[in-house]
């Protein structure tokens, strides 16, 4: 493959790729993302390959994440355009036989939420997808991430060709500035301004870096982009290098993403072969290459200055950032760092224009944002929504509401450094500034939904402990302050909270936020401060009443059998690991004797609650003593 | 200031309007204005780090107020800084409370907290840890020393300082810089592999790589010890040159040799003290609190390391001291001669101890008291009256536990000095807190080499030999070379001074005369016969024979020749004769004698 040299060559090659793709009358796109692979997509791929047996009329794609992880593994059949969900290897022959050969829709495999008889066949009909507007994830279900030809067939590298051969670096800068693209990594800093500052910073060499050290618990946006469409990131970075005058590029991928690493390495190789990387790219005179650097598993290395130290081979520790990294970053030289999603947006802005981009989202936060929607929501998965969409639309329309019809309690946005927003915030439009004002933040796009059975104190404790674990320990407030906050939270969840703890948490939290050295430390108290702001009563219930409203904190709850519902089946007695469940003599039920739980022995593991077919195990908070329990049982009788 | 092209930034700090250079931090500006901002992780010779946050100040930029650490925040134009506003104080108090929770016993933290009125903490207290994770040691080792022998291990609350991979550091040069910068005293330097290191605990040796050799040194200028100087070893540091305002530090300076032409030379090369480690029975270097008389001098000196206080290794005052005379002197195993000065200086030491610790038990263990000289015997008598115990009998052994059944017992950890009290005729063992070894005087280590260079002779004990003990006590056999002081043999200060004056007078008279009276009988080389074999040059003890490169013959300097006749006897070709003593003359004399 000779390296492409002119815009004309790129255009012709794109057309060739497209026509060779069009030769296939049928397409089967199997979601081969991490989540689907974990539940059988790999076996499914083998089954498809076997069943298709080299059928020249079918293009079989092992694509990146389609998004709707809740009902994976997913298969899309085109041009029928049907989405099959929860597909098993056994279903493959039927799909090949009926859908591919005869063009029939297999109703059994369609998405049918609930028992109301609703069935959705096409992607845009499914409520989960209907409210999304995909830009960076648009190609995920259409292309094979290991094939640059697929990417080219969909116009890939067209933006690069346009930027390098038809636009000056200043024109590219202007386009990005006009688009008001804001960094998707969390800070929401104006990318155009950052690029411009980096370009103008004094220095011999400039570095272009992609931050793929996505470490938030429950977040997998960047991973899915790298796995599903790695070329879009490369294209964005090369355009960035052109605009900024970058001399070399790095991508800092966390080591926990081996699949993303593999896909990206392959994409780099291909881009090289085609002449989109290396010397004299597309004959424009731009020499640019991207090196891969793997992170070692420290959350703090996602912070820019720590990331630079890690890239340099030092311990990943942040340093004071009163001098911006665009002036002194990697090796103290001008450096432009953006995250995966930001880079992936760049080609779209160049090919479709700033005006188009500004047409999506809100005035100050244009474009779309990818979120990983997880937690107690019916439809978990990866979503891409226009900025300005409300939390309610995300949670209830796209997410399908709370699992099991329970009540919504809160949604945590922005990962561990973000905050907990209550039901009253559900109608807030999601953009960088609104979320920050509400005491949370956009972050990189993790969104964890909590239902009424979630304890916000427990959640705040979880995130505080996570950050404490990940704190580099350099500055005093973060290292010591977080530890003390964690201790107080542990005390509260153990029922040993004191009235003055509330005031202390708030004060300590403020002190850390004001004085910590880096972004991790400054935002570390967010989960606690935001949950105190919105759920103070829950904290007070823990402290004053020894009651956990979410009935989660083990020290404050007790398990009991509801005699009214118990049928005496004995399932609970069998699973109890500590033999805390005993039959009550003389209380004969349908299949046996009524059971009761000895609170003194019970370990609160919840095993009984999970197996009980009648939902007869109830959790009480504050914890009730055995005598009390006996009395209750007697009263109930 | 206006000449410089540098842009000056205007700022207001605590109401004072001032200017700063681009890149200067608030802390630097504050230091210049003598505004005190507390710091724990800052040292001006390492890069700002911003870990302790104690230096937090309030900064107003474009109308917005924020808290920033003064050490890392670069001044911007037009900022207004408050270093002691209510907010700042409140903030520092909170941070100090945080510190107190984990470092309640660390002096520097406690003191600073106390200054801010923080004596207790609302945070849960933990067992006090000495290291406050300020990172100064790690940074000084990396940035100043350049050895990179220290690093942080783990992260978060588990973070601590150690060597890379927790092993013995290969790159550590034992310079002690880490211990020096450590604000809490957590780092101690320990000599584990016989590496050279410099600390000043009870330092009876050099204290720092850069030091004035001794208090009375002339000129009183510091020198750099190349062996322990960090810059000489790693090329790093260089702090002394940064702080030296007159710019007087010169790392390139080397030892130089200078040649001078002189008419006469006085050798006053002195002595060295006997090394008591050679006499193992005294436990020097093995037992704590066994010191030499010179170390005692160092300690009792008012400008010495302890400021003149007499202390044991553990820092407490000794309550009983034994002074052992004749260590290395009057001893068949070492030096048979008497070192002359020890009796008197031992009496002086006893007197000093009595003065500083009036209730101390002081023992002088002597063979004989030798106190000749003006006022010396009177001094001895005075000491007797001061209640010093004089025991006639040489101390023979010092041990950490009693060895004799008759040993006097005492409470606590003691040193036991064994001796025979020859006046009472009983063996004794004295329990004492400290033993001072009155070491004798020996020729310097290079005395032999000096004697060879100057063509003078030495006595059996190694000291230089005078020409005649009574008639020429400062002359040597080499004309123009004189000796004075302990180079000639042990003597005290008055004697040394007297001899020095005598030597100077002798040298001056030689110079003053302007001419030298030659020996009437000197050797002479027959130029015709000399083969230029240089045998004579080797045997000449006075260096009087040189070689004429042009003529290829030996030439005798008549001024230096002492007519000893060695060359005459050694010359294989018979080319050298002595004036008035040639073969014919001697034979004629013999013949005349025999004939008569």
Q: Name the packing angle between helices A191-200 and A230-244 (round to 10°).
A: 50
* pLDDT tens digits, A455-485: 999 999 999 999 999 999 999 999 999 999 9
The DSSP call for residue A351 is H
Beta strands per DSSP E along B495-575 = 523-525, 545-548, 553-556
Q: What percent of chain A has pLDDT over 70?
A: 98
- Contact list, A319 vs chain B (CB under 8 Å): 49-50, 72
The answer to whether A511 contacts B135, with C-beta atoms less than 8 Å apart, is no
Residue of higher predicted confidence among B195 and A118: A118
- Contact list, A473 vs chain B (CB under 8 Å): 133, 152, 154-159
Is A517's Cβ below 8 Å from some Cβ in B? Answer: yes
Q: Cα(A511)–Cα(A482) distance, rounded to whole angstroms? A: 10
Q: What is the pLDDT of residue B585?
A: 87
Is A327's Cβ below 8 Å from some Cβ in B? Answer: no
Residue A106 has pLDDT above 50, yes or no: yes
Whether this prediction's pTM lies above 0.90 is answered by no
Sheet with A26-31, strands from edge to edge, namely A58-63, A26-31, A75-78, A82-84
Which residues are registered as beta bridge partners of B364?
Answer: B323, B390
Burial class (CB in 10 A: 0-12, 13-18, 19+), A106: middle
Q: What is the DSSP string of A370-436?
A: EEEEEESBSS-EEEEEETT-BHHIIIIIIS-SBGGG--EEEEEESGGGSEEEEGGGTTSB-SHHHHH
Q: How confident is the model at residue A488 (pLDDT cuts 50, 70, 90)?
A: very high
Question: What's the gap between Cα A598 and its chain centre?
Answer: 41
Q: Over its length of 596 residues, how does chain B's per-residue pLDDT go in tens digits?
A: 444 556 799 999 999 999 999 889 999 999 999 999 999 999 988 999 999 999 999 999 988 999 999 999 999 999 999 999 999 999 999 999 999 999 999 999 999 999 999 999 989 889 999 999 999 999 998 888 888 889 999 989 999 999 888 888 778 877 778 888 899 988 877 655 554 443 333 334 445 677 777 666 778 788 888 877 888 878 888 888 887 888 888 888 888 899 998 889 999 999 999 999 999 999 998 898 999 999 898 888 877 667 788 888 888 899 999 999 999 999 999 999 999 999 999 999 999 999 999 999 999 999 999 999 899 999 999 999 999 999 999 999 999 988 877 777 777 889 999 999 999 999 999 999 999 999 999 999 999 999 988 888 899 999 999 999 999 999 998 888 999 999 999 999 999 999 999 999 999 988 888 777 777 888 999 999 999 999 999 898 888 899 999 999 999 998 888 888 899 999 999 899 988 888 888 889 999 999 87
The answer to whether A479 contacts B74, with C-beta atoms less than 8 Å apart, is no
Instruction: Compute the 3-state secondary structure of chain B and give helix, strand, coil in percent, each to the nearest 5.
Output: 25, 20, 55
The DSSP call for residue B468 is B
**Which of A511, A513, A516 is the mutation pick for testing B, counting most B CBs within 10 A?**
A511
Closest CA to A136 of A302, A276, A337, A346: A346
The answer to whether A476 contacts B159, with C-beta atoms less than 8 Å apart, is no
Residue B171 dihedral angles phi and psi, to the nearest 5°: -90, -10
Domains and CATH numbers, chain B: 8-115 (3.10.20.740), 136-243 (no CATH), 264-517 (3.50.50.60), 523-595 (3.30.70.20)
Residue A614 has pLDDT above 90, yes or no: no
Residue bearing tokens 């134009």: B77
**B12 and B35 Cβ atoms separated by less than 8 Å:** no
* pLDDT tens digits, A302-343: 999 999 999 999 888 998 877 788 888 999 999 999 999 999
Q: What is the pLDDT of residue B198?
A: 39
Q: Cα(B136)–Cα(B140) distance, rounded to whole angstroms? A: 6
Determine the residue of chain A that is closest to B57 in CA distance: A515
Of the candidates A475, A484, A507, which has its C-beta nearest B51's C-beta? Answer: A475
Is B148's Cβ below 8 Å from some Cβ in A? Answer: no
Enclosing H/E stretch for B80: strand B79-82
Q: What region, left, alpha or beta, does residue A203 occupy, with left being phi > 0 and alpha being psi -120 to 50 degrees? A: left
The answer to whether A487 contacts B124, with C-beta atoms less than 8 Å apart, is yes
Of the candidates A474, A483, A504, which has its C-beta nearest B51's C-beta? Answer: A474
Beta strands per DSSP E along A197-317 = 207-212, 248-254, 278-281, 286-288, 290-295
Residue B235 dihedral angles phi and psi, to the nearest 5°: 80, 0
Whether the complex's predicted ipTM surpasses the cut of 0.95: no
Of the candidates A473, A507, A516, which has its C-beta nearest B155's C-beta? Answer: A473
Q: Cα(B179)–Cα(B208) distance, rounded to whole angstroms? A: 13
B56: its two tokens: 């937090």
**B25 and B48 Cβ atoms separated by less than 8 Å:** yes
**Residues 84 through 103 of chain B touching chain A, CB cutoff 8 Å:** 91, 94-95, 98-99, 101-102
Domains and CATH numbers, chain A: 21-127 (3.40.30.10), 156-358 (3.40.50.11540), 368-451 (3.10.20.600), 456-545 (1.20.1440.230), 557-636 (3.30.70.20)
Sign of CA dihedral A99, A102, A104, A108: negative
Which long-range contacts does B284-289 make (Cβ < 8 Å, 24+ apart)?
B284/B437, B287/B398, B287/B399, B287/B400, B287/B415, B287/B435, B288/B312, B288/B313, B289/B313, B289/B318, B289/B415, B289/B433, B289/B434, B289/B435
Coil, strand, or helix at residue B417? strand
């Amino acid at each position: 493959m000779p390296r492409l040299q002119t815009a004309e060559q790129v255009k012709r090659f794109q057309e060739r790729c497209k026509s060779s793709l069009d030769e296939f009358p049928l397409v089967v796109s199997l979601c081969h993302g991490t989540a689907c692979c974990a539940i059988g997509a790999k076996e499914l791929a083998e089954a498809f390959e076997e069943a298709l047996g080299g059928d020249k009329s079918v293009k079989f794609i092992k694509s990146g994440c389609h998004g709707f992880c809740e009902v994976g593994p997913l298969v899309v059949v085109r041009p029928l355009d049907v989405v099959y969900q929860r597909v098993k290897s056994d279903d493959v022959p039927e799909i090949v036989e009926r859908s591919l050969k005869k063009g029939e829709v297999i109703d059994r495999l369609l998405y049918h939420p609930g028992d109301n008889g609703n069935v959705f066949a096409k992607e845009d009909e499914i409520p989960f997808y209907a409210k999304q507007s995909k830009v960076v994830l648009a190609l995920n279900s259409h292309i094979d991430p290991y094939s640059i030809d697929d990417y080219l067939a969909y116009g890939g590298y067209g933006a690069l060709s346009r930027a390098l051969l038809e636009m000056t670096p200043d024109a590219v800068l202007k386009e990005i500035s006009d688009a008001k693209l804001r960094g998707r990594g969390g800070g929401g800093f104006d990318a155009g301004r950052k690029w411009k500052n980096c370009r103008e910073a004094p220095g011999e060499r400039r570095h272009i870096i992609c931050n793929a050290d996505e470490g938030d618990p429950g977040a997998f946006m960047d991973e899915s982009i790298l796995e599903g469409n790695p070329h879009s990131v490369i294209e964005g970075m090369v355009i960035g290098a052109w605009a900024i005058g970058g001399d070399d590029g790095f991508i800092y991928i966390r080591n926990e993403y081996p699949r993303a690493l593999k896909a990206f390495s392959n994409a780099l190789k291909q881009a090289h072969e085609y002449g989109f990387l290396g010397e004299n790219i597309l004959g424009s005179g731009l020499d640019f290459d991207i090196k891969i650097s793997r992170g070692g598993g420290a959350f703090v290395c996602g912070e820019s200055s720590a990331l630079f130290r890690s890239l340099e081979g030092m311990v990943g520790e942040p340093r004071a950032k009163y001098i911006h990294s665009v002036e002194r970053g990697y090796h103290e030289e001008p450096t432009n760092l953006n995250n995966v999603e930001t880079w992936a947006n760049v080609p779209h802005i160049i090919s479709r224009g700033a005006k188009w981009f500004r047409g999506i989202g809100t005035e100050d936060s244009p474009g779309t944002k990818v979120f990983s929607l997880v937690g107690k929501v019916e439809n978990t998965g990866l979503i891409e929504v226009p900025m300005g969409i409300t939390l309610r639309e995300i949670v209830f329309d796209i997410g399908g509401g709370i699992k099991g019809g329970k009540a919504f309690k809160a949604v945590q946005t922005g990962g561990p450094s973000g905050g907990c927003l209550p039901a009253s915030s559900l109608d807030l439009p999601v953009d960088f500034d609104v979320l920050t004002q509400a005491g949370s933040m956009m972050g990189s796009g993790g969104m964890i939904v909590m239902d009424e059975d979630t304890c916000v104190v427990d959640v705040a404790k979880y995130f505080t402990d996570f950050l404490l674990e990940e704190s580099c320990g350099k500055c005093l407030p973060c290292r010591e302050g977080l530890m003390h906050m964690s201790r107080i939270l542990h005390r509260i969840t153990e029922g040993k909270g004191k009235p003055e703890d509330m005031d202390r948490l708030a004060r300590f939290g403020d002190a850390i936020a004001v004085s910590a050295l880096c972004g991790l430390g400054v935002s570390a108290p967010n989960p606690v401060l935001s949950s105190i702001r919105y759920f103070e009563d829950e904290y007070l219930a823990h402290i004053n009443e020894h009651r956990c409203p979410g009935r989660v904190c083990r020290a404050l709850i007790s398990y009991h059998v509801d005699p009214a519902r118990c049928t005496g089946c004995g399932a609970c007695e069998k699973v109890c690991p500590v033999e805390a469940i005993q039959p009550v003599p003389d209380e004969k039920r349908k299949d046996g004797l009524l059971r009761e739980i000895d609170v003194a022995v019970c370990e609160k593991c919840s095993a009984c609650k999970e197996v009980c077919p009648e939902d007869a195990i109830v959790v009480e908070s504050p914890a009730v003593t055995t005598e009390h329990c006996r009395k209750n049982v007697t009263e109930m009788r | 200031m206006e000449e410089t092209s540098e842009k000056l930034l205007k700022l207001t700090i605590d109401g004072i309007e001032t200017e700063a250079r681009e890149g200067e931090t608030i802390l630097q500006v504050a230091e210049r204005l003598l505004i005190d901002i507390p710091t724990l992780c800052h040292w001006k010779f390492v890069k700002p780090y911003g870990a302790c946050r104690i230096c937090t100040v309030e900064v107003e930029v474009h109308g917005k107020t924020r808290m920033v650490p003064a050490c890392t925040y670069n001044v911007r134009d037009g900022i207004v800084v408050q270093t002691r506003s209510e907010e700042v104080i409140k903030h520092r108090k909170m941070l100090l409370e945080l510190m107190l929770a984990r470092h309640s016993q660390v002096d520097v933290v406690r003191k600073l907290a106390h200054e801010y009125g923080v004596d207790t903490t609302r945070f849960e207290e933990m067992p006090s840890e000495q290291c406050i994770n300020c990172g100064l040691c790690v940074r000084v080792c990396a940035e100043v020393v350049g050895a990179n022998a220290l690093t942080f291990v783990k992260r978060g609350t588990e973070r601590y300082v150690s060597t890379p991979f927790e092993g013995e550091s290969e790159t550590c040069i034992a310079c002690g810089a880490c211990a020096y910068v450590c604000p809490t005293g957590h780092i101690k330097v320990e000599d584990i592999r016989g590496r050279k290191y410099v600390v000043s605990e009870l330092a009876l040796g050099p204290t720092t790589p850069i030091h004035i050799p001794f208090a009375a040194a002339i000129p009183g200028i510091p020198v750099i010890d190349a062996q322990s100087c960090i810059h000489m070893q790693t090329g790093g540091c260089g702090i002394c040159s940064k702080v030296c305002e007159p710019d007087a530090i010169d790392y390139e300076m080397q030892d130089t040799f200078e040649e001078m032409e002189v008419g006469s030379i006085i050798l006053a090369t002195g002595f060295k003290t006997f090394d008591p480690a050679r006499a193992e029975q005294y436990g020097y270097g093995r037992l704590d609190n066994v010191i030499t008389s010179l170390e005692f001098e160092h300690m009792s000196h008012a400008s010495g390391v302890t400021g003149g206080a007499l202390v044991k290794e553990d820092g407490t005052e000794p309550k009983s001291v034994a002074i052992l005379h004749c260590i290395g002197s009057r001893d068949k195993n070492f030096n048979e001669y008497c070192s002359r000065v020890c009796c008197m200086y031992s009496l002086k030491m006893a007197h000093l101890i009595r003065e500083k610790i009036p209730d101390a038990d002081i023992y002088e263990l002597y063979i004989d008291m030798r106190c000749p000289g003006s006022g010396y015997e009177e001094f001895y008598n005075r000491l007797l009256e001061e209640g010093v115990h004089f025991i006639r009998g040489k101390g023979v052994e010092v041990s950490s536990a009693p060895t004799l059944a008759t040993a006097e017992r005492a409470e606590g950890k003691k040193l036991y000095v064994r001796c025979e009290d020859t006046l009472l005729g009983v063996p004794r063992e004295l329990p004492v807190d400290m033993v001072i070894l009155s070491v004798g005087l020996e020729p310097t280590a290079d005395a032999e080499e000096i004697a060879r260079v100057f063509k003078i002779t030495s006595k059996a004990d190694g000291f230089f030999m005078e020409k005649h003990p009574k008639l020429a006590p400062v002359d040597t056999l080499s004309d123009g070379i004189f000796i004075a002081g302990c180079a000639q043999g042990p003597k005290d200060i008055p004697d040394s001074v007297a001899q020095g004056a005598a030597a100077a007078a002798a040298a001056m008279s030689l110079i003053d005369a302007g001419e030298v009276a030659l020996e009437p009988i000197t050797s002479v080389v027959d130029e015709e016969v000399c083969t230029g074999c240089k045998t004579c040059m080797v045997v000449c003890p006075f260096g009087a024979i040189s070689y004429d490169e042009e003529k290829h013959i030996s030439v005798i300097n008549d001024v230096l020749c002492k007519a000893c006749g060695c060359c005459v006897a050694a010359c294989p070709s018979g080319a050298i004769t002595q004036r008035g003593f040639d073969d014919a003359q001697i034979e004629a004399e013999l013949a005349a004698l025999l004939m008569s």
